[in-house]
Structure 1
Amino acid sequence: MAELFASGRVVDIVLALVALEAAALLVWRRRRGRGPSPLALIGNLASGAFLMLAVRAALTGADWTVIAGLLLGSLVAHITDLCLRLRDDQPGAVGRRSQSSEPGTSAETTAFNRRNQAGMISS
């Protein structure tokens, strides 16, 4: 087990699992018409992948510039992901649905409306 970490192979295994997760989510979206868009998925997973690669580089004794570059890559991917999310939340965004129209719990859902009618939550 120690060799798995010392060689950085543990990160390779995690990255393979992340790739499988991405593939499964893309297949889910294609079949069900729901789920994250491919661009949003790539932005989100790329940030984590760069972080994992930075850990792998640190475990294997890579130069600090390599580690810094991978951390910078993670930052860029993270900022890109945030920009995409913020753009998607803008009212009237062309071709995009805001998060408020997604299924889930919000102040507009039936569960909250029932509670409001019962006087449990006040505005």
Structure 2
Amino acid sequence: MTVLILEAVWLILRGWRAIDVVLLILPAVLIVASLRAALVGASWPWIALPLALSFPVHVADLLRRRRDTPAA
């Protein structure tokens, strides 16, 4: 998790917009949270919920990138 936070700070310092960084990093944060829940033996909803939430955030990131990319 620390590595993801450091990456987010580094990207913001390099001039990325905060919303772009959040949409880029949040799916990874949710997947790591799901992995941690699985490793500590949490019940299945605590594993499935962050994993399921990571998908729509990832799709939102892809749609935002597609919209921001100029047509070829």
* Shorter-chain TM-score above 0.5: yes
| Aligned counterpart, 1:20 | 6
Deviations, residues 71-107 of structure 1 (Å, cap 9, x unaligned): 111112101101111111254xxxxxxxx7xxxxxxx
Q: 2:49 & 2:33 partners in 1: Cα distance?
A: 10
Percent of matched pairs sharing the same residue: 29
Aligned with residue 55 of structure 2, among 64, 75, 97: 75
Indicate the structure (1 or 2) with the bigger Cα radius of gyration. Answer: 1
Kindly report the root-mean-square deviation, in angstroms, between the aligned alpha carbons of the 2 structures: 1.6
Pairs within 5 Å for 1:1-123: 15-29=1-15, 36-91=16-71
Runs of 4+ in 1 over 2 A off after TM superposition: none
Q: 1:38 & 1:18 partners in 2: Cα distance?
A: 14
* 1:43 partner letter: L
Give the TM-score normalised by structure 2.
Answer: 0.87
Structure (1 or 2) with the greater helix fraction: 2
* 1:25 partner letter: L
Query: Any gaps of 5 or more consecutive residues in structure 1?
Result: 1-14, 30-35, 92-99, 101-123
Query: Any gaps of 5 or more consecutive residues in structure 2?
Result: none
> Alpha-carbon deviation of 1:28?
1.9
